[in-house]
Amino acid sequence: MRVLITRPQDDAQRLAQRLHAQGHACHLAPLLQITPTEAELPPLGDVRGLAFTSANGVRALAAKLTHADAARWRALPAYAVGPQTYAAAAQAGFANLTEASGDVESLAEQIASHIDRSMQGSIVHIAGTHLAGNLQALLAAHSIPVEKCVLYEALAASQFDAPTQAAMRDHGFECVVIYSQRSAHIYVALMAQIEAAMPFKPVAFCLSPAIAEILQAAGFATETAAAPHEDAMLALLQNFAE
């Protein structure tokens, strides 16, 4: 199948490699551009663990760890929202890792069940400027303090680039992969700009039902992964292709 990938550039390239291995033809059209912020990390002595809700957060923190305390940061208990974030954290050298099931609710449960209650300090949520879910509120129910540290910004695309528009007009794509609710809203807005020139609409392959609802409301056909992680998305694409 011809697959349009809308993830940020680094994540899109990794996903494209996996889809190419399945025999799909991929075109990258990132809807979000990841840029670092100037935020400073909190004092290490105030941190009892790290919460990662995206691989972008992992990479943003790793880019900050160029000082003498880098090894101590990487040794902290770290909680990853799902498999992709877990893999990114492991690759970045975070060794004390726990993996959740792909959503912020399961991440909060993993933290609450694994945290060392004898430690002082806060869980530091390494975040972007736009968040899905409220980890701070979920952990407040377990009396676990959370400090949000915004280390990156995800800037929305204002239009599809010229190669993407040409590909859509010339042959179209059987499917588009959407991984977040924010990306779904951006995709709907950008498609409205060029929809009249397209031969057909791609089927939107969505990582969660909440994402699918946004696309369905805008008139797109959707398929939803069985679980909110990339392996389930790849299985869905492969089954659809067959």
**pLDDT average, residue stretch 124-142:** 90
Residue 150 β-bridge partners: 127
pLDDT tens digits along 23-78: 999 999 999 999 999 999 999 999 999 999 999 999 999 999 977 889 999 999 99
Retrieve residue 58's tokens. Answer: 């992992």
pLDDT tens digits along 138-174: 999 999 999 999 999 999 999 999 999 999 988 889 9
**pLDDT average, residue stretch 105-110:** 95
The whole-model pTM stands at 0.84
pLDDT above 70 coverage of the chain, percent: 100
Query: Would you place residue 118 in the very low, low, confident or very high pLDDT band (cuts 50, 70, 90)?
Result: confident
Retrieve residue 81's tokens. Answer: 């929202």
133, with CB counted inside 10 A (0-12, 13-18, 19+), is middle
